[in-house]
Structure 1
C-alpha cells in the first residue's frame, strides 16, 4: 500500500490518468480495426522525432529563464543548416552532420543574442520568448524568399528563386539517423534504433553536464539566485549560456525531426512547434522552475502517444476520416491543459 501511495505521489494523478487513458487506447485499438503493431511503431517514431526538441526545454527551465517559447529561433537555425546541406548536395550521415555543423554556430549566435535580451527582461522571460519566437518566424518568411539558394530541388520552379514551402529530403538524408541499427518485426513494426540512440546520447550529455561545475552553477542560479550571486556566480552569464544550449538543442532537434519526417517545412512551419514541446515537458511533470530528463521522456511519450492514438481510434469508431481535425483538437487540448498548469503555479 505504501509503495502504491509513494508511486502516486511521485508520478502525480495527472500523469497517471493520462497514462491510463493512453493504455486504454492501445487496448481498444485492435477491437476497432486499428493494428496494435502499427500504433506502437508510430508512437515510437514520433517519440524519437520530437524527443530532442523537448529536451531543449531543460536548460532554460533549470537556469530560471522559464519555458522556452522562443524555440523557433533554434528551429530556424536548424532549417538554415538543413537547406544549406541540400544546396551542397551532401547525402546520408555526412548530409545530416553538415546540416548540424552549419546550424550549431548560427544557433550559438542567435541564442547569445536571445539570452542578452532575456537578461534585460527578468521576470517576463516567457512573454519575451513568445514574442521572439513569433517575430523570428515572421521575419524568416521574408528571408526564405530572398536568400541566395539555387538548388532546383528547393526553389520555386517558375521563379527560379525563393525556397518552396516544403522541401523533400528524400534522396539526401531521409532516415539517415533513424536507420542506423534499425529493424522491423513483421511488416509494419519499425524501430528507429539510431534515432533512439542519438536521443539517449544527448540525454546522457545533459545528465552529465548538469553535474559539472557549470551545470551546478546554472541550477543554483535558477533555484537560488541570491545564493549564487553571493557565491560569485555570474548570473547573467549562466542564464545566457542556458539559452544558447537550449537554442542549439532546438536546432539539432529539428534536423532529427526532418530526417525522420522526410520534409523540411519552412515559412510558418516552425510557428507552432514550441507549444507541443513545452506541453510535453509540463505533462511529464516539469514546472517553470524545475525540469529533468525523466520529465522529458515521460512527457514526450504521453503527448505523442495520445496525439498518435486518439485520431486513429476515434476515426475507426465513428467510421469517418476526421483524423486531422481530431489531431488538432487533441493537440490543442493538451497544450491548453499544460499551460493552465503554468498559470496555476505562477498564481
Structure 2
C-alpha cells in the first residue's frame, strides 16, 4: 500500500479494486492446489478447465438463461464438462510421470486451436453470440450484461465510507476456499497429499496412486471451470478463441508469491498470493503513467508473471545442480 501513497493514488480505490480482483481471480488460483498437493506440479494446462467453463457459459447464454439461475446453470454445466475433460487430462498425465508440467503446458496450448475451430463452427443460435454478418461463428467477445454480468459483485455490497466490499463475490470465494480446505482434511484429501509427498509410502499404505493423481486433475479442472465463470461474470464478458491460452501463468505466479510449496500448498497461500499479485498489477498502470512510459505497465506485468515462475523453478532446483522437481 506504500506504493499507492507514493503514487498519490486513493487508498480506497486500491483496496476496492484489490478485493474485487482477489475474489475474481482467486478461484482460478485455487484450482492449482489439488494437482500441486498430489505431486503433479503446477497445472499449466489450465486452459483445458477454462474451455470447459466457457462452454458452460456459452450454453447458458445460448438458452437465454439470466440472473442467478443462469450463473448457477453455467457453473453446473461447466463442472460436468470439466469432469469429462479432467478425466482425459488426468489419464494423459499419468502416462508422462516426471514430465507433467511441460506436458500440461503443451496440452493447453494444443487444446486452444482445437477449440478455436469449434467456436468458428459451433451450432449456437443466439444472435448475440454470433457474427452479425453471415450469422455463423462465435464472436471473440460475448457480453453478459443481459445474462448474469456481475451477479456476484452486486450481491450484498457493503459500503463503508469510500470503501465498497463485494460481499457476494468474496463469500463465493470464501466458500470455495473452505470446501477445498475441508477436502484436504478428509481421508481422501490426506491420501492425495500423501501421494504428493511420498509415492512409495503412499503405495505401501494401499493408496491407488494413479486414481489419486487423476482425481486431483479432475478437481483442478472442475475448480478452474468454476473459476472462469466467476471471472467472466465479474468482468462482464466471455472471451473466446485465444483468450484462455495464457491464463495459467498469472495464476501460477500468484500462488508462488503466496509461498506455495510442492505437496504443502494451502488455501492461505492462495489468498495471500492472489491479493499481493493483483495489488501489484493494479499499481503497475499508475506507476507506468508516473514514469511517462505507458508501455511499462504491460512489460512490468509480464516480468512479474514469468519472473516469479522462473525464480520458483530455479529455487526448487536447489544449489547443487540437481534437476528441478515438479512444483
Which bracket does the TM-score occupy, shorter chain normalised? over 0.9
Q: Secondary structure at the match of 1:37?
A: helix
Q: Quick one: distance in 2 between partners of 1:73 and 1:94?
A: 25
The residue that corresponds to 2:75 in the other structure is 100
Farther off after superposition, 333-342 or 233-242: 333-342
Q: RMSD value over aligned CA atoms?
A: 1.3
Give the corresponding residue for 2:282.
308
Aligned to 2:301: 331
Q: Deviations over 1:45-70 (max 9, x none)?
A: 11111000000010000001100000
CA contact (8 A) 1:46 1:304 kept: yes
1:138-189 alpha-carbon deviations (Å, 9 max, x no partner):
1111110111011111100101011000010012101111222113345x64
> How many equivalent pairs are there?
317
1:297 aligns with 2:271: yes
Deviation at 1:335, TM superposition (A): 1.8
SS in 2 for 1:131: helix
Contact 1:145 1:162 in 2 (8 A): yes
CA shift for structure 1 position 42: 1.2
Report Cα offsets for 1:303-322 as digits up to 9, x if no partner.
1000011212331x2456x2
**Residue number in structure 1 paired with 2:164:** 190
Aligned counterparts of 1:184 and 1:150: Cα–Cα separation in 2: 40
Which stretches in structure 1 are left out of the alignment for 5+ residues? 1-22
Shift of 1:212: 0.6
CA distance in 2 between counterparts of 1:50 and 1:152 reads 29
- SS of structure 1 residue aligned to 2:128: coil
Deviation at 1:89, TM superposition (A): 0.6
Q: How does 1:49-198 map to 2 (within 5 A)?
A: 49-186=24-161, 189-198=163-172
The superposition leaves residues 84-137 of structure 1 with CA deviations (integer Å, 9 ceiling, x where unpaired) of 111111111101011111111110010010000000000000010001111111
**Alignment check: 8 A CA contact 1:29 1:36 kept:** no
Q: Distance in 2 between matches of 1:111 and 1:65?
A: 14
Distance (whole Å) between structure 2 residues aligned to residue 196 and residue 108 of structure 1: 25
1:245-260 alignment runs, 5 A limit: 245-260=219-234
Per-residue displacement from partner, 1:266-306 (whole Å, max 9, x unpaired)?
00110110000011001110134431111101100111000
Matches within 5 A, 1:273-284: 273-284=247-258
Q: Give 1:42's aligned residue.
A: 17
Does the 8 Å CA contact 1:28/1:313 hold for their aligned counterparts? no
In the superposition, relative to structure 1, how do residues 142 and 151 fare at CA in structure 2: closer, same or farther (>3 Å)?
Answer: same
1:27 aligns with 2:27: no
Q: Quick check: 1:167–1:265 contact (8 Å CA) kept in 2? A: yes
- Are the aligned partners of 1:71 and 1:133 in contact in 2 as well (CA < 8 Å)? yes
The answer to whether 1:344 aligns with 2:315 is yes
**TM, length-normalised to structure 1:** 0.88
Indicate the SS of the match to 1:173. coil
Give the Å deviation of 1:190: 2.8
CA–CA distance in structure 2, aligned partners of residues 342 and 289 of structure 1: 15
The equivalent residue for 2:321 is none
- 8 Å Cα contact 2:249-2:306 kept in structure 1: no
1:236 to 197, 202, 210: 210
Question: Would you say the 8 A contact 2:28–2:251 is kept in 1?
Answer: yes
Residue by residue over 1:176-230, the C-alpha shift from the partner in whole angstroms, topping out at 9 and shown as x without a partner, is 11222113345x6432111100010011111110011100100000001101100
What SS does the aligned partner of 2:238 have? strand
Q: Tell me, what secondary structure is at the counterpart of 1:196?
A: helix
Question: Equivalents in 2 of 1:232, 1:263: separation in Å?
Answer: 46
1:336 deviation in Å?
A: 2.3
For 1:156 and 1:336, locate their aligned partners in 2 and report how far apart those are by CA, in whole Å. Answer: 35
